[in-house]
């Protein structure tokens, strides 16, 4: 059976609020929690950006659910430090943590002042970092020089079993490449046919039989107008082309470029509806692709209503 996860959005809510939503999501019947690591929000209206690894210790203590996190190894989060954090969380909470690694976005990574590399270079760095993290979590002493440098690093605190290490991809090309080495795929809800191609490319690239998780960006409110305006207010900065999402480095830049995003463009990236039956249909279509989990991110600010209503009327219909 596929898992249905709640997405805890650090860009939009204070860490203390997200703790409350985690507890509520578990009571409501969600199967897990997912969050992403950010230093800045995508726009000023989102207004938050708590530290994901710090928050996870508290959130996993407050819940018994499994947790997943996506982060980008690089100058901001050296892969040895990611490995240490992942090892500590997994030792504290055995079998309840998985990690997805991505090539990163300038809005989070540019703060270190380092040159922002090309996508090709970022992918090379991602692959190097994946191997460094995996080897450290296996208890090996690691020395490496490349886009990332490590000198005689070894983790002294290790979990009994290391956490799964997935890769994040938006494009078909990256998904195919990840299939040969990542232990699973994390992607987003493209239009159905494109999502189908992304998943197929991952499986054909070597990922057949490996877990696939899809982050579903949706906007639910009991009022149709509020479902749309809530998505427009909070998430219009996130519907840009993936190459642009990776290159802009200030919230103000995202706001300026997305100022004229209209309904059609927004609805291409966000499933917007006040009708619960419509959400059931959308989600069941994604599940028909044989995915292992859907991560539901209600991009507007009505988290309690979303959790409560989906618990009663959506989750029972997609299991």
Mean pLDDT of 51-62: 98
In this model, does residue 241 exceed pLDDT 90? no
Pick 244 or 4 by higher pLDDT: 4
Q: Is residue 221 part of a domain?
A: yes
Residue ending a domain, choose from 99, 133, 164: 164
Torsional class of 221: left (φ above 0), alpha (ψ -120 to 50), beta (otherwise): beta
Write down the pLDDT at residue 239. 84
Tokens of 119: 């996508």
Q: What is the pLDDT of residues 145-192, one digit of tens each?
A: 999 999 999 999 999 999 999 999 999 999 999 999 999 999 999 999
Write down the pLDDT at residue 268. 92
Number of domains in the chain: 2
Write down the pLDDT at residue 286. 98
In this model, does residue 8 exceed pLDDT 80? yes
In this structure, the answer to whether residues 109 and 15 fall within a common structural domain is no
In this model, does residue 260 exceed pLDDT 90? no
Where are the strands (E) in the chain, listed by range? Answer: 3-8, 32-36, 67-71, 97-101, 142-145, 149-153, 165-168, 185-188, 212-219, 271-272, 293-298
Q: What is the pLDDT of residues 261-305, one digit of tens each?
A: 888 899 999 999 999 999 999 999 999 999 999 999 999 999 999
Buried b or exposed e, range 3-18, using 16+ CB within 10 angstroms: bbbbbbbbbbbebeeb
Write down the pLDDT at residue 261. 87
Q: Is residue 131 part of a domain?
A: yes
Question: What percentage of the chain carries pLDDT values higher than 90?
Answer: 92
Q: Please report how many Cα atoms fall inside a 13 Å half-sphere around the Cα of residue 76, on the Cβ side.
A: 21
The candidate with the shortest Cα–Cα distance to 147, out of 45, 226, 74, is: 74
Domain extent, residue 111, equals 72-164
Residue ending a domain, choose from 133, 164, 195: 164
Q: Return the CATH number at 61.
A: 3.20.20.30
Mean pLDDT of 123-140: 99
Write down the pLDDT at residue 299. 99
Write down the pLDDT at residue 244. 74
Q: What is the pLDDT of residues 73-108, one digit of tens each?
A: 999 999 999 999 999 999 999 999 999 999 999 999
> pLDDT band for position 120 (50/70/90)?
very high
């Amino acid at each position: 059976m596929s898992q249905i996860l709640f997405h805890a959005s650090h860009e939009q809510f204070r860490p203390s609020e997200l703790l409350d939503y985690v507890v509520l999501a578990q009571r409501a019947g969600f199967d897990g929690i997912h969050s992403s690591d950010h230093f800045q929000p995508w726009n000023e209206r989102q207004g938050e950006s708590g530290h994901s690894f710090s928050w996870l210790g508290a959130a996993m203590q407050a819940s018994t659910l499994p947790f997943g996190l996506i982060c980008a190894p690089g100058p901001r989060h050296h892969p040895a430090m990611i490995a240490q954090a992942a090892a500590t969380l997994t030792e504290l909470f055995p079998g309840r943590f998985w990690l997805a690694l991505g090539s990163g976005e300038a809005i989070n990574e540019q703060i270190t002042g380092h040159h922002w590399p090309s996508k090709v270079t970022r992918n090379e760095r991602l692959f190097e970092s994946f191997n460094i993290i995996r080897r450290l979590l296996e208890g090996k002493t690691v020395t490496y020089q490349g886009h990332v440098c490590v000198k005689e690093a070894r983790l002294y605190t290790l979990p009994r079993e290391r956490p799964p290490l997935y890769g994040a991809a938006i494009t078909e090309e990256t998904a195919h490449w990840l299939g040969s080495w990542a232990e699973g795929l994390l992607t987003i809800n493209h239009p159905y046919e494109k999502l189908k191609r992304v998943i197929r490319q991952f499986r054909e690239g070597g990922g057949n039989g490996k877990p696939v998780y899809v982050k579903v960006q949706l906007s639910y409110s009991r009022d149709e107008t509020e479902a749309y305006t809530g998505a427009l207010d909070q998430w219009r900065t996130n519907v840009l082309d993936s190459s642009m999402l990776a290159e802009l480095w200030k919230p103000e830049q995202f706001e300026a470029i997305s100022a004229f995003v209209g309904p059609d463009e927004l609805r291409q990236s966000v499933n917007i509806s006040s009708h619960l039956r419509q959400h059931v249909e959308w989600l069941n279509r994604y599940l028909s692709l044989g995915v292992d989990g859907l991560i539901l991110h209600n991009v507007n600010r009505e988290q309690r209503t979303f959790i409560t209503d989906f618990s009663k009327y959506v989750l029972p219909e997609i299991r």
